[in-house]
Amino acid sequence: MNLLDSIAKTLRLCVILSVAIAVIGLMAGYTGSPYGEGLTWLAVLILILSPFAGVVAATISLAYGKDRKWAAFGVLLIIVSLIGMAVALIQ
């Protein structure tokens, strides 16, 4: 699979999934369901994490393409991002 195609498909999937969950959450909220707000926040979280998913998809695509230098850079970027997320959650 092409590098740009894998990134585009991943980001497109994240947006479609987020919109679908947001619509379900908003509909549930209007009907008085206690899950409506949680689903809406989940949709926002998916949108926030979609660039990270794009980096993961790019790294996997680079690894399959045997581009070791850039795949290693992608792994380093993932590690730094995960450390940043962990520090943000701890504080």
pLDDT tens by residue, 30-79: 998 889 999 999 999 999 999 999 999 999 999 998 889 999 999 999 99
Q: Apex CA 86: angle with CA 6 and CA 22, to 5°?
A: 55
pLDDT value at position 50?
94
Kindly report the pTM of this predicted structure.
Answer: 0.80
Rounded Cα–Cα distance for residues 28 and 53 (Å)? 27
Q: pLDDT tens digit string along 3-41? A: 888 899 999 999 999 999 999 999 999 998 889 999 999
Rounded Cα–Cα distance for residues 40 and 43 (Å)? 5
* Nearest CA-CA partner of 50 in 88, 79, 9: 9
Asked if residue 17 lies in contact with residue 42, where contact means CB atoms within 8 angstroms, the answer is: no
Asked if residue 25 lies in contact with residue 45, where contact means CB atoms within 8 angstroms, the answer is: no
Task: Kindly state the tokens that stand for 27.
Answer: 């509909």
